[in-house]
Amino acid sequence: MKEKFVRIICCITVILVVAATGCVAPPRDNKTSSTTGNFFNPGQTDPAASATTTPNFVTDVTPFATVTSGSGYRTMPSTTQLPEDKYCRIYTTTNTYAFNKTAIAFDLQSPPMYINYTVKPSNITKKIAYTSKITGEGDKVITVDTYSPDSWYEIIVRSKSTGEIYLQDGFGTRKGYNEYLSRNLKVLKRDNMQIEFSGSNITATAMVWVKPSGNINDTTQFNMTSDCAYFDYIPRDSVPFVTATPRPTWTG
């Protein structure tokens, strides 16, 4: 009986030892654990760690250096100007106009012809009354210098034989023109030209230029340095804003 009890005790002891050995965790792998998991939830991927991972199908390279642009202006190579492209002045006139007109004729066989002019319109002083929007200032008067609306200048280039007008332009709003003080005009037709200059309440200087080649047989009368010049293919006007003549000085 005693021997049977001892056997039962031994069997129970063996069972307890086996049960105890089943609770021991298996040996861990010696590999380094991934850093992409969340510490509190190992199964969750850390977005920040994933974002810094470089895929194997790209290669790290050195970025291109950033080139700082300059001012944006470029120096254009100068165009060689040929002596035969010079235009020579065949006529100059300065006149103070009061509804008077003058005219010349020239047989233009090798166009273009350029006509440049400069004007000095009459100036007027106007007083303009207005009510100030600033509290307490009331009515005010300002003095304004401007061109006289009666100042105008006109150049007409027409066929001397038929009267057909090839060019008609000038200065002054009274005639429907702009108020540039200096302009270059260009005539492209080939004909025996009549050039008319007229105006009112204005002083103007005009010059007519043509190429000697094809137009003038004797070019020895020209000083190619002082009497001749190059012109732009597309004429340019002076700065497009009005510059009033000096305000007259009033006495008394």
Domains of the chain: 84-121+149-229 (2.60.120.380)
Residue type, 179: E
Instruction: With H, G, I as helix, E, B as strand and everything else as coil, classify residue 128.
Output: strand
Is the predicted pLDDT of residue 73 greater than 80, yes or no?
no
- Measure the CA–CA gap between 12 and 25, rounded to whole angstroms: 23
- For 143-153, how does the pLDDT look when each residue is reduced to its tens digit (9 = 90+)? 888 899 999 99
Give the model's confidence band at 1: pLDDT under 50 very low, under 70 low, under 90 confident, else very high. low
Instruction: With H, G, I as helix, E, B as strand and everything else as coil, classify residue 81.
Output: coil
**pLDDT over 70 percentage in the chain:** 59
Which residue from 248, 236, 231 is spatially nearest to 113, judged by alpha carbons? 231
- Measure the CA–CA gap between 17 and 129, rounded to whole angstroms: 117
Average pLDDT of the residues in 163-177: 95
